[in-house]
Amino acid sequence: MDLETLRHASFTQLNQAITAWKGVVDKLKTLETDARDDLKAKADRANCAGANATVSREFVTKTAGEFGDAHTEAKSIHDILRGTRDELEGYKLGLDQALERGRKKNLTVTPIGGGGFTVTVILHPDRAAKGHEIPDHSPQDAEHLRDDVQRILNRATESDSTAATVLRALVDQAEYGFSGASYGDRDSAIEALRKAEEATKLIEEHGDEMSPEQFQKLNGLLASYRNDPLFQEKFATQVGPKGMLEFWADLSSPDNPNELTRTQLDQLGEFQKNLGTVLGGAT
């Protein structure tokens, strides 16, 4: 996010997208309620038996669940879009205020090539002889303005890029159906992705030679995020089938002299459950 992009940002299209997604959320909520309270309720109460009745009930139950998952995922997308919009609007306002503070001290921020910027004097002191009143400023004022602007741009970039990452991940989840991934904001979703990368790094860098502390950390990450769809997919795809099989085979081998397998055999059962839940969800 460079200076000019944020300074002249228009949120009209983003606002339209948020409004559209709110409409989708409301409609899916109605469909979810109708499917659950009407369609599924009638199927459950139906006085019929046999193979056809069993298949019909299963189909209705699955369909009602799909509407629920679709509503949950649509609400996650809407909430992430809205939260990101609110943040970016706040950063734009903060940038405008910083630039105005600079102008009051005869300083301006000018974009340069490569997305950078420079702080310069608006009115040269020589012009004071022509009747212009030049506001005083110090070198520290220029440095503070530069730091304030850079801080705002960094935060806006982080907000924009993490939102894009999370939204793409949610869309990938829905490639073969709705996952029901539920996130109230972008931060919780991006945190799940980062924790998946952290868990992957432990396996890739240390494998079966990780220390007991590292193993406990990995097990804790899997336990905390084992039901999180984004964590599941990120972790499973990054480690990969071959990497996972090699890690587990080495870790659980009775011939492995690693201290981990001697001192923490009692944790392997819990670890196996957590790992199985993560991989099952990813599958």
Residue at 129: amino acid letter: A
- Model pTM score: 0.71
Per residue in 59-109, pLDDT (tens digit) is 777 777 778 888 888 888 899 999 999 999 999 999 999 999 999 888 999
What's the confidence (pLDDT) of residue 96? 96
pLDDT more than 90, % of the chain? 33
- Give pLDDT, residue 256: 53
Q: What is the pLDDT of residues 1-55, one digit of tens each?
A: 899 999 999 999 999 999 999 999 999 888 888 877 777 676 666 555 554 555 5
Question: What mean pLDDT is reported for the chain?
Answer: 82
Tell me: the pLDDT tens digits for 187-236?
888 888 999 999 999 988 888 788 888 888 998 999 988 888 888 888 88
Region of poorest pLDDT, from 102-106, 174-178, 181-185: 174-178
| Cα–Cα dist 211/276, whole Å | 22
3-state DSSP of the chain:
CCHHHHHCCCCHHHHHHHHHHHHHHHHHHHHHHHHHHHHHHHHHHCCCCCHHHHHHHHHHHHHHHHHHHHHHHHHHHHHHHHHHHHHHHHHHHHHHHHHHHHHCCCEEEEECHHHCEEEEECCCHHHHHHCCCCCCCCHHHHHHHHHHHHHHHHHHHHHHHHHHHHHHHHHHHCCCCCCCCCCCCHHHHHHHHHHHHHHHHHHHHHHHHCCHHHHHHHHHHHHHHCCCHHHHHHHHHHHHHHHHHHHHHHHHCCCCCCHHHHHCHHHHHHHHHHHHHHHHHHC
Model confidence pLDDT, tens digit, residues 157-168 = 999 999 998 888
Would you say residue 145 has pLDDT above 90?
yes
pLDDT attached to residue 33: 85
How much is the pLDDT for 53? 53
Q: Name the residue with tokens 């109230």.
A: 184
Those residues whose C-beta lies under 8 Å from the C-beta of residue 103, and which sit 6 or more positions away, are 122
